[in-house]
Structure 1
Amino acid sequence: MGFSRGQFGLLTPPLLLLTCLQLGIGLECIRYMPQLSNATLAATLTQTTFTLEQPQGRFSHLNISDFDPIWLVVAHSNAVQNFTAPQRVEDTPVPADLPQRGYYLTLRANRALYLSGQPGNQLRVLRVGNDTSCSPKTRGCNHPLPGPGPYRVKFLVMSDRGPLAETQWSSETRLQQAEAFQATPGPRSAGTVVIIAILSVLLAVLVTTLLTLLIYTCYNTCGSTLISGPGESVYMRRYNPHHVFSPPAVRGS
Structure 2
Amino acid sequence: DPSLSGSTPLEGSITSSTFTLDQPNGQFNSPDLSDTDDIWLVVAFSNAINNFTAPQSPQGIPHASTFLEKKYYMTIQASRALYSNETNAQDIRILRVGNETSCTVNTCNAPLPGPGPYRVKFLVMNDNGPVAETKWSEDITLIEPEEVSESRAPKSAGTIVIIVILSILLSLLFLALVALLVYTCFDICGTQEISRPEECVQVRRYNTHHTYSTPEAGRS
- Is the partner of 1:96 in helix, strand or coil? helix
CA separation of 1:251 and 1:119: change in aligned 2, threshold 3 A: closer
Letter paired with 2:2: P
- Is the partner of 1:100 in helix, strand or coil? helix
- Is the partner of 2:43 in helix, strand or coil? strand
Q: State the Cα distance separating 1:240 from its structure 2 match.
A: 3.8
TM-score (norm 1): 0.61
Query: Which residue is 1:37 aligned to?
Result: 5
Query: Which residue is 2:81 aligned to?
Result: 112
Query: Which residue is 1:134 aligned to?
Result: 103
Q: For each residue in 1:31-54, what CA deviation from the matched residue of structure 2 results, as whole angstroms up to 9, or x when unmatched?
A: xx1111112112111111111100
CA distance in 2 between counterparts of 1:142 and 1:49 reads 10
Residues 65 and 106 of structure 2 are in contact (CA less than 8 Å); yes or no, is this contact kept in structure 1? Answer: no
Q: For each residue in 1:11-58, what CA deviation from the matched residue of structure 2 results, as whole angstroms up to 9, or x when unmatched?
A: xxxxxxxxxxxxxxxxxxxxxx11111121121111111111000100
Letter paired with 1:166: E
CA distance in 2 between counterparts of 1:250 and 1:238 reads 30
CA separation of 1:65 and 1:238: change in aligned 2, threshold 3 A: closer
Query: Which residue is 1:172 aligned to?
Result: 139
Q: Which has the higher contact order (CA 8 A, sep 6+)?
A: 2
Query: Which residue is 2:128 aligned to?
Result: 161
Query: Which residue is 1:145 aligned to?
Result: 112
| Identity among equivalent pairs (%) | 45
Count of equivalent residues? 173
Higher gyration radius (CA): 2
Residues 92 and 139 of structure 1 are in contact (CA less than 8 Å); yes or no, is this contact kept in structure 2? Answer: no
Structure 1 residue aligned with 2:54, among 55, 78, 85?
A: 85
- Aligned CA RMSD, in angstroms, stands at 2.7
Residues 71 and 155 of structure 1 are in contact (CA less than 8 Å); yes or no, is this contact kept in structure 2? Answer: yes
Unaligned runs of 5+ in 1: 1-32, 184-225
CA separation of 1:241 and 1:45: change in aligned 2, threshold 3 A: same
Unaligned runs of 5+ in 2: 151-183, 210-220
Residues 54 and 114 of structure 1 are in contact (CA less than 8 Å); yes or no, is this contact kept in structure 2? Answer: yes
Residues 150 and 172 of structure 1 are in contact (CA less than 8 Å); yes or no, is this contact kept in structure 2? Answer: yes
CA separation of 1:77 and 1:241: change in aligned 2, threshold 3 A: same
